[in-house]
Chain A
Amino acid sequence: MQNPYLPMPVRVIKVTTEVDTGEIKTFRLAFVNKEDEERFDYLPGQFAELSIYGKGESPIGIASSPTQKGYIEFTVQRAGTVVPGQVTSALHDLEEGAIIGIRGPLGHPWPLEFLEGKNIVVVGGGFAFTTLRSLVNYMIYEENRRRFGKISIIYGARLPGLLCYKDELALWGKRDDLDLCVTVDKGNEAWEGREGFVPAICKDVAPCAENAVAVICGPPIMIKYTLPVFFNLNFSKENILTSLEMRMKCGIGKCGRCNVGSKYICNDGPVFSLAELDALPRDF
């Protein structure tokens, strides 16, 4: 039996600084051992524990799509305002070529079978766009694209310099098989795109609820004001999906830390529909 606590070695093959502040970086990792790569069979929405011996582990959503072969990507924000996050700080100090550890894939992916044949509205805010990016890249992959209906993406950040995956957004913008709407709370001289908060833009875009599923990830304040917009558009709670975050340690439903109601966010989530969340006690 594979020990679920033992990380597999991965090499950092590329580090991309995503935002102006330098506080968010994307790490492209390649497995050192071929058999580990085969074992790491993941889908969009899942996460993994990134491990640095001597520092610890952090649960991070997988930002790449399984359709991207040969590597996996994680977008990591340097955590901690008062006390710096040990692992995320150490990750940010890493250079290409370094070897770290990974455990996973963990948790449940976005329910792809449920999403098939439906129009997908992806709504993301700031740095919480990571597993949504994975989902989009998965859906627009050549062989997968016809399995899904219309794809609309609404992605916002506070400032233009805080948008992640800028090059990719530019490429998506050129495609005619998806509608991309990128917004910032406040633009600058160079910014030619939309300005406005994500909830307002959602209201403006007003995606049709018929045969559609909204997949929403973002900071709590964005979610709070975005959900009513989708309710008004007649999206049912079964058709609104999100992904929860909570402090985690083991990632496999044993250590009890991420327990909410009868669910362990790590093992039973992190992906939930709003209907499922409604059934849980208000404790997150």
Chain B
Amino acid sequence: MLRKIEQGRFGELIEALLARGPLYAPVRDDRGVNFQLIRKASEPTLDFYNTLQSPKLAWFPQSEDLIRYRLAKGETKGEAISGPVAPTVVLGMRPWDVKSLAIMDLLFLGGGKEDPYWLEKRRLTTVIGYGLASEEEPDGADFFRTLNIGAADSDGSDVFLLKKDGDLLLEGITERGKGLLGELTFLKEGTEEDERYLVAAKAGGKDRKTRFFDLDANAAADKLKAVFADNTFWEKEAEGCISCGTCTFVCPTCHCFDIADETLFRDGVRRRFWDACMFTDFTLEASGHNPRPRTFQRLRQKICHKYSFYIEKFGVVSCVGCGRCTRLCPVNIDIFSLVARAVNL
């Protein structure tokens, strides 16, 4: 199922999506482009290469209320905040970000226990992926090709969006995606030529050049386990690290969180919020013992979690090569070259 609309009528598309329910889309402000909950149809933009932060916040908000309680003399009762999440659309996700959802599913829905908050939002959210057009160049920090992700992959999207000359092509991938396109009756039918363009773009996306090394996930997992005990290597790699946690906050696959209670007078919420294995107190125990007191141990944990432990546990690399951690690291630590060095040690 292929539909299209002129790029000049993008606002109309947004207007229609907004009328259906909550919509997350990329918005430009003075810092760059980020996913936001859209209020006005004029806010979103498709003129960006990559967002500063990942869109994971639509499923895993930075701060999320889990339980509501009211302190009482006898029994304090808690009530899960699981209320119906409205069917939501996330528009404009690059293929590597779409891929991150499948990686996170393994954790949040696996291990024999499902996370109801993640599950609910996954069930009710429509993903509109956004392929990289052939005239757009990948950023120098990116290495999604190393992770075998194409710049115009549509897997994991419900609807796949691609710029073509003055048009936006919209391909329905899943039943949900096709259903959504069916509702948007103002869209035009795609032509056979559009179809051919789309097929060519997807195939071409596989060949888009980013930084690349021949990554064999299982071999990398084993190698990193072997390098794990080489403190000299890790101390050197972590020399500049200031444990700021930026890399984890912008990462589409970092999922660590803390849980804390916040009470105002008698009313409170138990909420979870993003945490980072890069922080000193992440593993600090009440006894005062901390198994990872040093910076290099924490950087090692992050790298090995993504390129070794996750592979061993779930069979996939927990990284999509989006380059965000490298671009935003204040001391220029680059996971791509770090892993490449470790693997080739």
Interface residues, chain A, with chain B CB atoms under 8 Å away: 1, 3-7, 9, 32, 53-58, 79-82, 85, 88, 99, 101, 245-247, 249-250, 252-257, 259, 261-264, 267, 281-284
Contact = CB atoms under 8 A, between A and B. Distances in A.
Given A5-B117, A247-B286, A256-B305, 17 more contacts: A5-B259, A5-B270, A54-B69, A54-B268, A79-B286, A79-B287, A81-B287, A246-B291, A249-B272, A252-B113, A255-B272, A256-B277, A259-B301, A261-B309, A262-B309, A264-B111, A281-B225
A44 B263 CA distance: 35
Q: How large is the interface on B (under 10, 10 to 19, 20 to 34, 35 or more residues)?
A: 35 or more
Nearest to B118: A254
B282 interface: yes
Nearest to B310: A262
A254 B107 contact: yes
Nearest to A8: B78
Contact of A261 (B258, B259, B291, B312): B312
A281 B228 contact: yes
A257 B257 CA distance: 8
A1 B261 contact: no
Nearest to A54: B263
A17 B258 CA distance: 31
Given A53-B71, A88-B286, A259-B301, A254 B115 contact: yes
A82 B284 CA distance: 12
A56 B113 contact: no
Contacts of B76: 53-54, 99
A267 B113 contact: yes
Contacts, number: 133
Q: For chain B, what secondary structure do more than half of its interface residues adopt (helix, strand, loop), or is it mixed?
A: mixed
Given A6-B67, A283-B301, A267 B288 contact: no
B256 A255 contact: yes
A4 B282 CA distance: 22
Contacts of A256: 255-257, 275, 277, 305
A253 B112 CA distance: 9
A247 B261 contact: no
A7 B111 contact: no
Contacts of A284: 291
Interface in B290-330: 291-292, 297, 301, 304-305, 308-310, 312-313
Given A6-B67, A252-B111, A262-B312, A56 B82 contact: no
Contacts of A259: 277, 301, 305, 309
A6 B291 contact: no
A246 B71 contact: no
Nearest to B256: A256
A247 B283 contact: yes
B75 interface: yes
B121 to A, nearest CB: 14
Nearest to A85: B286
Interface in B109-155: 111-117
Contact of A255 (B67, B259, B312): B259
